[in-house]
Amino acid sequence: MSPSLLKKIYTKQTIVNRYKEDKQKELAKSITDEEIEEEFNKNAKDYTTVDLRNFTFNNSISADDKASKDDIKKANADLKKKAQAFLEKVNLSNFTQMAYDATDDKEQKNLMKEDASYSSMDDTNYTAIHDYVSKEAADWAFNADRKSGDKQLFEVKDKNGIATYHVYCMENVMKRDNQYPVNVRQILFMVTDNAASDATETETGHSDAEAKKLADDTLAKWKKGKATDESFAALATKLTEDTGSKETGGLYENVTKDSNYVEPFLNWCFADGRKKGDSGIIKTDYGYHIMYLSGKSKDPNWKNTVREALASRKFDKYIESTIKADGTKVSEHWVKVVGKRMKKAAETVITNAGLNAASGGLSDAQVISGGDQ
């Protein structure tokens, strides 16, 4: 595949993706509160989370032991008896202590000593339980009749018939995520001797004093100007050393208190009284961040999630109706052919990129085309 053809394919793909994003945003605006509530009530498990206590009884037999069927059957029965005895006595009040007492692994005991919430599964969604344990466990946890204090034992067997037993105790039943997410921009000046590392950041940096002065001076200069969202975005694109947000003007969207960001970052975003247009400087292990609150959602997170799901469905219907109106039929055969070619091209790029790194002998154009140039 030639570089020019690859470029055309990726260009078209980018245009399609951006059109999809814009169209979905347009469709989202047309969705009413009534539609959102109806969808939520119909598929509540898709838009809620639960808080559980969990303890897992792992089998003493593993697949490597090459145990007989009789040995596995006996080990399963012994383990189930132990798990059932735990289930009968456990409740929300004694769960942490009973889990600690039932743990044989010393390392795990130490972890449980250090973290009292070790056995907690807070804000857990349906999919996580479905994938971690089973559909049966997920359906139990997200049953509309579930109440705090309910408990249940679930058996999961691997392909060899070796069982694992999970004891669940319900703490908080299905609940909506009522957090109001925020959009925040940042300009990062990295400190050279920081201990943290992140693939999205540049390898350049400054001394602590240099980074602090850059942040102070940049914020002061911005405040003397128009001090708008647009001017901050332009400055971030030009100056930030966080390559992960450089192209978006330092923007991080839909940030909640549960988002995977460092504590000082989240503390600033959700400080009491924080409002749109606020700015400031924080220090983290990465360096100095100039912060700007770009906006706050007018709706809670659960509502935004439902709206996005409905907009996605409406977009799919829009595409189907457009294709039908044009008399166009999508050929699944050619979709598969193009997909295979794209995969092969990507594998070629990756393989040759590795060879190039090792030998230094191929140009960028040769890497893209498979080294034929």
For residue 253, what are its two tokens? Answer: 């969207």
Q: Are 236 and 187 in contact (CB under 8 A)?
A: yes
On the question of a common fold for 44-176 and 181-296, the answer reads yes
pLDDT at 328: 55
pLDDT digits (tens, 9 = 90+) for 89-104: 999 999 999 999 999 8
pLDDT digits (tens, 9 = 90+) for 19-28: 788 888 888 8
Sheet holding 163-176, edge to edge: 120-124, 48-57, 163-176, 151-157
Rounded Cα gap, residues 95 and 89, in angstroms: 9
pLDDT at 63: 77
Please list the ranges in the chain whose pLDDT falls under 50: 194-202, 334, 353-373
Rounded Cα gap, residues 83 and 77, in angstroms: 10
Closest CA to 119 of 92, 139, 142, 137: 92
Work out the end-to-end distance of the chain between its first and last CA atoms, rounded to an integer number of angstroms: 11
pLDDT at 20: 80
For residue 242, what are its two tokens? Answer: 């966080």
pLDDT at 271: 96
Instruction: List all residues 6 or more positions away from 66 whose beta carbon is below 8 Å from its beta carbon.
Output: none
Closest CA to 253 of 271, 272, 229: 229
Please state the φ and ψ torsions of residue 122, each to the nearest 5 degrees. Answer: -85, 145
Rounded Cα gap, residues 180 and 304, in angstroms: 9
Closest CA to 125 of 177, 54, 167: 177
Three-state SS at 321: helix
Q: Are 233 and 251 in contact (CB under 8 A)?
A: yes
Rounded Cα gap, residues 34 and 110, in angstroms: 50
**Where along the chain do its domains lie?**
44-176, 181-296, 330-369
CATH topology of domain 44-176: Chitinase A; domain 3 (3.10.50)
CATH of domain 181-296: 3.10.50.40
Rounded Cα gap, residues 257 and 181, in angstroms: 8
The overall average pLDDT reported for the chain is 86
Q: How many residues in the chain?
A: 373
pLDDT at 274: 96
Instruction: List all residues 6 or more positions away from 61 whose beta carbon is below 8 Å from its beta carbon.
Output: 67, 71, 72, 75, 162
